[in-house]
């Protein structure tokens, strides 16, 4: 807090710290220092918690060693690029493992080890959950985008008019009598069927996706 304010703080000042200022302290001194906004979901939380408890440089070294890049204690373009390409769960597990080994070597492990071990286990689970949640939403967005693209094609009156026109031509060439058939009315009927089917399919898709995300 003294580093954040740039001046010595009293006990009273610490006790009077507001939630908003506390958030700013954590963001400025830890989150921004580890480039949290640019790390993959899950990895960001694992590195952030490590930075708060063991320092930004040490947390960065754990991240870089987990990624297999040069460990210089500074998060730059190379580290961020590697973090974006890596499997979040693998990186999270590696960070937590390295963090635990580091703490086990401290002289105070016999006193605080149980609490530290519990915290790291909780961080591991929360970070992996965060990564899984992000992956589920990403997959949901991709599926919905593909579905919308497909709906756009099948909802095109021009497309169906051309299909029906081509079908009528083929039937005529093969000797079928097409007199009296209104291609426009047939197209309208097809469009109504497509619209109804699209609504049902979209509803079912959203129900299934919501259940998957909830799980």
pLDDT along the chain (215 residues), means of 10: 64 76 89 96 96 97 97 96 95 97 96 96 96 70 56 56 57 54 56 57 56 48
pTM of the prediction? 0.62
User: Are 8 and 108 in a shared domain?
Assistant: yes
Residue 52's pLDDT is 95
Residue 50's pLDDT is 97
Residue in the block written with tokens 């790390």? 39
Residue 147's pLDDT is 55
Q: Which of the listed residues 135, 170, 197 is the one where a domain comes to its end? A: 135
Q: Which domain holds residue 32?
A: 2-135
Cα 58 from chain centre: 25
User: Are 178 and 80 in a shared domain?
Assistant: no
Residue 213's pLDDT is 43
Residue 140 corresponds to which tokens in the numbers above? 């949901």
Residue 186's pLDDT is 53
User: Are 100 and 17 in a shared domain?
Assistant: yes
User: Are 181 and 119 in a shared domain?
Assistant: no
**Is residue 143 in a domain?**
no
Contacts of 51 (CB under 8 A, 6+ apart): 30, 33, 34, 58, 59, 60
User: Are 81 and 127 in a shared domain?
Assistant: yes
**Is residue 140 in a domain?**
no
- Looking at the structure of the chain, the number of domains it has is 2
Q: Which of the listed residues 135, 164, 186 is the one where a domain comes to its end? A: 135
- C-alpha distances in angstroms, 4 versus 16, 21, 24, 50? 15, 10, 9, 19
**Is residue 147 in a domain?**
no
> Which pLDDT tens digit goes with each residue over 140-154?
555 555 555 555 555
CATH of the domain at 66: 1.20.141.10
**Is residue 114 in a domain?**
yes
């Amino acid at each position: 807090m003294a580093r954040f304010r740039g001046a010595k703080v009293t006990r009273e000042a610490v006790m009077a710290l507001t939630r908003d200022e506390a958030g700013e302290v954590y963001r400025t001194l830890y989150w921004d220092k580890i480039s949290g906004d640019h790390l993959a979901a899950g990895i960001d939380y694992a590195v952030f918690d490590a930075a708060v408890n063991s320092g930004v440089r040490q947390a960065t070294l754990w991240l870089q060693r987990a990624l297999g890049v040069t460990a210089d204690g500074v998060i730059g373009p190379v580290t961020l690029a590697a973090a974006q390409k890596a499997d979040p769960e693998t990186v999270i597990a590696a960070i937590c493992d390295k963090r635990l080994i580091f703490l086990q070597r401290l002289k105070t492990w016999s006193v605080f080890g149980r609490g530290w071990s519990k915290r790291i286990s909780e961080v591991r689970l929360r970070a992996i959950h965060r990564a899984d949640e992000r992956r589920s939403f990403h997959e949901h967005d991709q599926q919905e985008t593909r579905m919308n693209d497909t709906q756009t094609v099948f909802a095109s009156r021009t497309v169906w008019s051309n299909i029906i026109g081509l079908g009528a031509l083929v039937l005529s060439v093969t000797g079928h009598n097409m007199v009296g058939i209104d291609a426009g009315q047939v197209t309208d009927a097809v469009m109504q069927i497509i619209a109804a089917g699209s609504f049902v399919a979209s509803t079912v898709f959203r129900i299934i996706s919501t259940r998957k995300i909830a799980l």
